[in-house]
Structure 1
């Protein structure tokens, strides 16, 4: 966390948010003292740790003496795979925090037709069959380029790029100055970064692109996805991204960037929280991902810290009540927003100057956002899409061409689109 001397007040105006990322317990197991145990399977990040979630629910637990909340971290590949394992073992949690998608909707209980649900970010956009299945805490921006200001100065890059041609030219200057121009990596980040850069360039003209792809009326090969993949392929060939990216872990990406080895890093607004702890003297800036025509892109976004209740829960009423607390209690919401630097109209918190700059980018985009990645709702991608794209983009580092990746993604989507 940053010190008070480095914090400034972040407050969003009335922006219009719109949008289209195994335990042995048995479900409903209660504590020995007779209280009800609510199990939460949560998404773990460098910022959203198990202890963070324990602290987050502490106020609720204090006001509900008969309720215990157990925080569970994913095992294996992530939260979705862990949930599938738990479902197969007959031991699913009561609440899922993150990882929601249409394939899992059948395991969720619909949330009530209540104002606190309607007020949660992306509630309307995530409707499926006319019902809301998850409630988010805030809005998470995911189309940002963080950059090392000193590196830009030393490389003679005097302004932040607005087009991909300008961005590529800047990356070449940064390489010439001795920096890794763009920090990419392996694990989940390869495909995620590609989506963060491509989605605003696709959905700025086709905001319902996912829904149209589900119907087969648009394709990767015929869209700006393919155009972006061509650019990405040129970066790989020209050494503007690390050749060993597939072997670089997410935390190592952050470490390389804050150590001054890398000049830029594409990531969501949560990276600002990690950069706040960088060594003294490291000064990062931020700008929107470039567009092909230089226009201001909509900010790709997702609901931050979304929660769903499993229909198999034996404590449905208590689980829904806890979700209500997490997405509507002012202290809980503010704590969730400030942890990753997320946003929600009507809420303010103290944040770093970098997070303030991100808020200004959202204002500059007129509050316009587009959905990125999977989720719930008619304009969602099929379950497994991020993993497949991640695999395909990683294969480009091994020589697979951009057009083959686009073709493979079209083939995969056609086979996995909801019927």
Structure 2
């Protein structure tokens, strides 16, 4: 999700890395004297499943590390997305940080030498045994910054996927059943629109709208297409049936009123708040909203279901813990990551509306959480996780935001938008030698 650095910035980065090359051993060891502080960054809300689990992890860390305090800085998603490369290339880098997984983000920073190789710790602490092969995909990156193989540069401690959230009260009022097929889903959208309700809560200014575009593409996709797009195992035709159908259908949904024309300027948070307030019957987004909805929705019944008809869905491991190469307390960072992988923390995450990677299944007692985890397991066991649309190339997040905004505003045709998103993808392929 980060734009490629300029030549001057890269040169400065290399000088900085060379200058600190001799401090690697010191960074992994405790300071000789004085109080120590673990500097932790993440962007999860306090009421989210991850926020609750990580707050408990902080308590356990401080209890097991006398004399060490945790300096937690809760950053906005966009803050970290836009400035991580610059911050990690300075002495202001945190010791451990939640970061986006994928080629465009963690892969790019690993290639630039800004992240610590966690391979020895993954083996030593057994993280490689706790994470299934599919979840390890986003933890490992090769020398090109391509995920799926190479060294461990991040550790995921939860999983996630995109689903359809729905307001059960509004569905009942409109006489709409939970759709089992895509045709039934579009019929439900039409029913709400005819009743004067815009059916979909959409955030076009950030990630949510592009996830709808990707879900539409995945309705025509199989694993080889996903591997070609995400892992560069083949060529991608952006005018092929997958993206062509997605762009055409998305634009059609705008024309039909299923997606509001004002949604181009709406951010993810405002989208979520509008659904919590009962304004929209449907919201398409990730499992990271689950805990928030469980806590904040008071005035109606709600539920979720998998996007109807798809064998492939957006999803993967969750965001990953990374340890910056410039971190001052790497040993503490490793200990903190290890605590987040403990059974009791994983169980707390699962019972709070998250998808744990190492929980005791019998310990997950919340009914909604069980439903959430069962749906994820359906995708995971059927090889149905297709990652996310902004992962393939640096800066691709902004490209896709612009593309869907053009579809919503009608300022470009679907074919023009496809050309717009194809160009930087193909440029990146050329840059890495594919």
- State the TM-score, normalizing by the size of structure 2: 0.77
Distance 2:34 2:299 in 1: 54
Which of 156, 159, 165 does residue 136 from structure 1 map onto? 156
State the superposition RMSD in angstroms: 3.1
Q: 1:365 to 1:249 in 2, by over 3 A?
A: closer
Shift of 1:52: 6.8
Could you report, residue by residue, the CA deviation over 1:290-309 in whole angstroms, capped at 9, with x for unpaired residues? 3xxx3x52443222242111
- Deviation per residue, 1:8-58 (Å, 9 max, x gap): xxxxxxxxxxxxxxxxxxx98x99981222212212346359787444311
The correspondence for 1:222, drawn from 235, 240, 245, is 240
Change (3 A) 1:32 1:197: farther
Aligned residues: 380
Corresponding residue for residue 109 of structure 2: 104
> Unpaired segments of 5 or more residues in structure 2?
1-25, 143-149
8 Å contact kept, 2:247–2:414: yes
In structure 2, the residue corresponding to 1:186 is in which secondary structure?
coil
Q: 1:413, CA displacement in angstroms?
A: 0.5
SS of equivalent to 2:281: strand
Aligned to 2:61: 60
Q: Report whether the alignment pairs 1:388 with 2:408.
A: no
Q: Which of 357, 363, 368 lines up with 1:344 in the alignment? A: 357
Deviations 1:281-322 (A, max 9, x none): 5122222113xxx3x524432222421111222322232222
In structure 1, what is the equivalent of residue 44 of structure 2? 44
Give the direction of change, closer, same or farther, for the CA distance of 1:91–1:365 in structure 2 (3 Å limit). closer
3-state secondary structure, aligned to 1:78: helix
**What is the DSSP-based 3-state SS (H/G/I as helix, E as strand, rest coil) of the residue aligned with 1:206?**
helix
Q: What is the aligned partner in structure 2 of residue 179 from structure 1?
A: 197
Do 1:75 and 1:82's aligned partners in 2 also have CA atoms closer than 8 Å? no
Residue in 1 that maps onto 2:5 = none
Asked if the contact 2:355/2:372 (under 8 Å) is kept, the reply is: no
Counterparts of 1:409 and 1:322, CA distance in 2: 39
2:336 equivalent among 312, 322, 327: 322
1:258, distance to aligned residue in structure 2 (A)? 3.1
Structure-2 separation of matches of 1:50 and 1:271: 12
Equivalences for residues 67-216 of structure 1 within 5 A: 67-74=68-75, 77-100=78-101, 101-105=106-110, 106-111=113-118, 112=120, 113-114=123-124, 116-118=126-128, 119-120=130-131, 122-124=135-137, 126-129=139-142, 130-142=150-162, 144-163=163-182, 165-188=183-206, 189-199=208-218, 201-204=220-223, 206-211=225-230, 214=232
Give the conservation status (yes or no) of the 8 Å contact 2:251–2:414.
yes
RCO comparison, higher one (Cα < 8 Å, 6+): 1
Say if 1:177 and 1:75 are closer, same or farther in 2 by CA, change over 3 A. Answer: closer
- Displacement after TM superposition at 1:75 (Å): 6.0
Partner of 2:40, secondary structure, is strand
The alignment status of 1:283 with 2:301, answered yes or no, reads: yes
Give distance in 2, aligned partners of 1:65 and 1:341. 30
What SS does the aligned partner of 1:252 have? Answer: helix
Q: Is the Cα–Cα contact under 8 Å of residues 149 and 285 in structure 1 kept in the other structure?
A: yes
**Aligned-partner Cα distance in 1 for 2:370–2:65:** 36
CA displacement, residues 201-228 of structure 1 (integer Å, 9 cap, x when unaligned): 434453413246x466122221412211
8 Å Cα contact 1:108/1:133 also seen in 2: yes
Deviation larger for 309-318 or 154-163 = 154-163
Contact residue 141 and residue 299 of structure 1 kept, 8 A: yes
Which shifted more, 305-314 or 119-128? 119-128
TM-score normalized by the length of structure 1 = 0.80
Displacement, 1:230?
1.1
